[in-house]
């Protein structure tokens, strides 16, 4: 039997230079999580349609819920001896009229007890231009598990037309 070649299609995607909105997002998020700035909270659109997903089971709808969730995350991070920096790779970015979106892979690099812990996440960011300012309306971020990608590749290789 021939050896089956598995390609991790998501992380093998060609990365693009960071778009200004993506760079602004990660700069503001890292500054917020480290307690240096609250600008990240101001990037979000106002209203009940603003949406945040973390690993699908954790979600907030509405700008106040989103802000509260991020304040809680920062409060927890401020009490544990860990410093985390999110390092983005932009896979795709599109901007059309008053809407823009980005697909990202990010590495969360954390220093815990003199050990470096790295985790990977997939992200989707959606912005809407409101009153001539780009506002974040949707953030979906989940932990990237290479085993799931391997299973997807296996399925595609056995059923390429599916």
Residue 142 has a pLDDT of: 82
**Count of domains observed in the chain:** 1
Pair 142, 120: CB distance under 8 Å: no
Distance separating alpha carbons of residues 123 and 103, to the nearest angstrom: 6
- The pTM of this model reads 0.80
Residue 2 lies in a domain: no
Residue 11 lies in a domain: no
Residue 94 maps to which CATH number? Answer: 3.10.450.50
Residue 77 lies in a domain: yes
pLDDT in tens, 3-53: 555 445 555 677 889 999 999 999 999 999 889 999 999 999 999 999 998
Residue 137 lies in a domain: yes
Top pLDDT among 161 and 79 is at: 79
Distance separating alpha carbons of residues 17 and 155, to the nearest angstrom: 31
Please give the residue range of the domain that contains residue 43.
20-158
Please state the rounded mean pLDDT for residues 77-104.
87
């Amino acid at each position: 039997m021939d050896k089956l070649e598995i390609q991790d299609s998501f992380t093998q995607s060609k990365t693009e230079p960071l778009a200004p909105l993506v760079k602004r997002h990660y700069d503001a998020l890292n500054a917020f999580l480290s307690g240096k700035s609250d600008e990240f909270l101001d990037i979000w659109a106002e209203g009940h349609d603003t949406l945040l997903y973390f690993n699908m089971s954790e979600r907030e709808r509405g700008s106040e819920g989103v802000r509260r969730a991020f304040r809680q995350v920062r409060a927890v991070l401020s009490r544990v001896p860990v410093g985390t920096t999110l390092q983005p790779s932009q896979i795709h970015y599109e901007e059309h009229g008053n809407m823009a979106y980005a697909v990202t892979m990010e590495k969360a690099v954390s220093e815990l007890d003199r050990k470096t812990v790295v985790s990977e996440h997939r992200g989707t960011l959606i912005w809407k231009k409101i009153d001539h300012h780009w506002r974040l309306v949707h953030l979906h971020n989940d932990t990237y598990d290479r085993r799931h990608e391997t299973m997807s590749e296996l399925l595609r290789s056995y059923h390429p037309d599916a």
